[in-house]
Amino acid sequence: MPVTILAIESSCDDTSAAICQNGKMLSNCVANQSIHERYGGVVPELAGRAHLQNIVPVVEAALDQAHVTMKDLDAIAFTQSPGLIGSLLVGAQFAKSLALSLNIPLIAVQHMQAHVLANLIDDPKPEFPFLCLTVSGGHTQIVKCSHPSALEVIGETLDDAAGEAFDKSAKLLGLPYPGGPLIDKYAKQGNPLRFKFPEPQIPSYDFSFSGLKTSILYFLQEKTAANSNFIKDNLADICASIQHRIITILLNKFKKAAIETSITQLCIAGGVSANSGLRESFEVMGEKNGWSTFIPAFAYCTDNAGMIAITGYYKYLDGDFSDLNVTPSARSEW
Interface ranges with ligand KG4 (CB under 6 A): 12, 136-138, 163, 166-167, 178, 180-181, 184, 270-272, 274-275, 302-303
Contact 54, 15 (CB under 8 A): yes
C-alpha span between 293 and 288 (Å, rounded): 11
286 binds, among Zn ion, ligand KG4, none (CB under 5 to 8 A by kind): none
123: phi then psi, degrees, rounded to nearest 5: -85, 150
Quote the least distance from Cβ 282 to ligand KG4, whole Å: 13
110 binds, among Zn ion, ligand KG4, none (CB under 5 to 8 A by kind): none
Quote the least distance from Cβ 39 to ligand KG4, whole Å: 15
272 binds, among ligand KG4, Zn ion, none (CB under 5 to 8 A by kind): ligand KG4
| Closer to Zn ion by Cβ: residue 184 or 303 | 303
Binding site for Zn ion (CB under 5 A): 136, 303
Quote the least distance from Cβ 133 to ligand KG4, whole Å: 13
Quote the least distance from Cβ 111 to ligand KG4, whole Å: 7
237 binds, among ligand KG4, Zn ion, none (CB under 5 to 8 A by kind): none
| Closer to ligand KG4 by Cβ: residue 40 or 181 | 181
Q: Long-range contact list for 55-58, CB < 8 A, 24+ apart?
A: 55/8, 55/10, 55/15, 55/17, 55/90, 55/91, 55/94, 57/31, 58/15, 58/16, 58/17, 58/29, 58/30, 58/31
180 binds, among Zn ion, ligand KG4, none (CB under 5 to 8 A by kind): ligand KG4
Distances (CA, A) of 182 to 32, 37, 235: 17, 13, 11
Beta bridge partners of 152: 144
* 3 state SS of 30: strand
